[in-house]
Structure 1
């Protein structure tokens, strides 16, 4: 399965309606090379054999597809494991790469080599958000004014700390979406974020996890979420809004019923694709 349909609430400047949205499946896929845990990639769990061969080539662990002797994917409790066997002449490389591997702007989990390490503790649960619908739309409308690097290059993501009224108090940019959020969390670590975090990027598991570490009441994203991001937010009680645009945004998790004022009264039937 590469997508699942999630029920949503569609916030607009004038009200709320029910909706549904197809959400891309995200899963943790652990890569084991010749018995050594090498990396955990957060990805769509499809075409894993092709991915494994391509990953071995781009990681320079193999020179040709023929160097990949076997690929064995199987589903585990937390995600997927892909076991790869390399040709004898390539086997020494894995030891060197494990010792010297560096982080990049990709979609793996930095420093994690096995699925067991994925279940990192989260201290406490987020408090009730105080920002209302108007504050969310206010922040979205002003975000571009805080993205000078993206305005100049078109190649940078942003993460912004917003007040409960929707004023952007701080914003950071980076070519890596995770990096932009880490910059924001680092800059606000001493004071915290009482309103919400607004990000420009796709919201995956790591983005939700970082928001939980920052103890923010709500995470809002301009782009789409993944299934694992929704599940992680629900498990830990994080209010989560995605696809936040000028005319509408989707509520994926609302444990405090902050956006449920008209639930059951005059709600329109589901709108496919929203």
Structure 2
């Protein structure tokens, strides 16, 4: 009997790109699954979180406790996890339905109304997952980047991280010319913020993101892929590994994605438009 798929990870075919050492190879790489989880409490939309869709009952209890919805495990009467598939777009999601004891249900309803009132998107349930997985614009790439350019940018990144050197606690996002020269860099405690700052700096300077590539000192989650695509940059290089949804979204949008980029090697997760010249 075939074992059920692992809800925590998938295996992708990738290409190892030798940088400081030889050893190009096609090989498999296991990446964690990232999926939107729409949390409903008592039938009301409460939040949408990105998570690995495993151990969801534990997640529901921990989330509810952290949110102040419950104080004890027995105040959670039931948890239902419903998978959702969207054949017309990359990715899938879950609706996580939490049912609380009567003495906590009123509090949860008040909190849900407050959260929805504070949100500008007004998303809940399936609609919110559809919004997370909304189709991205397809990139048009007119860029050629060599392994030497990627290696050069990696080697130079620390020179553009003064706050990182001082604290060891921030991320960096850099925009690189096709030859690997770092043109602009920004730092922040949040990897998403660092990328937003970099894109904003490119806009202020009147620089076209399509004319180079972005290098991030971070794990590659789907939001970073989407920000890069919406900025119009055709290549994203990250120092850590991607999630499943990041890889899927990059492929569909035509974004070249290179991850686990280190001084010795990097993994080409996808390159739909042959941006990387091997």
- TM-score under structure 1 length normalisation: 0.85
The answer (yes or no) to whether the contact 1:208–1:219 under 8 Å persists in 2 is yes
State the Cα distance separating 1:188 from its structure 2 match. Answer: 1.5
Do residues 227 (structure 1) and 235 (structure 2) align?
Answer: no
CA distance in 2, matches of 1:178, 1:202: 10
Cα root mean square deviation, aligned = 2.1
The answer (yes or no) to whether the contact 1:218–1:238 under 8 Å persists in 2 is yes
How many residue pairs match? The answer is: 254
Question: 2:218: which partner in 1?
Answer: 201
Question: 2:70: which partner in 1?
Answer: 62
Do residues 127 (structure 1) and 141 (structure 2) align?
Answer: yes
1:22-76 CA-to-partner distances (Å, cap 9, x unmatched) read: 1111111111111111222211110000000100111122222222221111211
Question: 2:45: which partner in 1?
Answer: 37
CA distance in 1, matches of 2:51, 2:143: 30
1:83-116 CA-to-partner distances (Å, cap 9, x unmatched) read: 00122232333444345549xxxxxxx9754212
Do residues 8 (structure 1) and 14 (structure 2) align?
Answer: yes
State the Cα distance separating 1:17 from its structure 2 match. Answer: 2.3
Question: 1:217: which partner in 2?
Answer: 234
Q: List alignment gaps of at least 5 residues for structure 2.
A: 1-5, 86-91
- Which structure's residues are more often helix, by fraction? 2
CA distance in 2, matches of 1:34, 1:8: 43
CA distance in 1, matches of 2:107, 2:166: 40
The answer (yes or no) to whether the contact 2:75–2:101 under 8 Å persists in 1 is yes
The answer (yes or no) to whether the contact 1:161–1:170 under 8 Å persists in 2 is yes
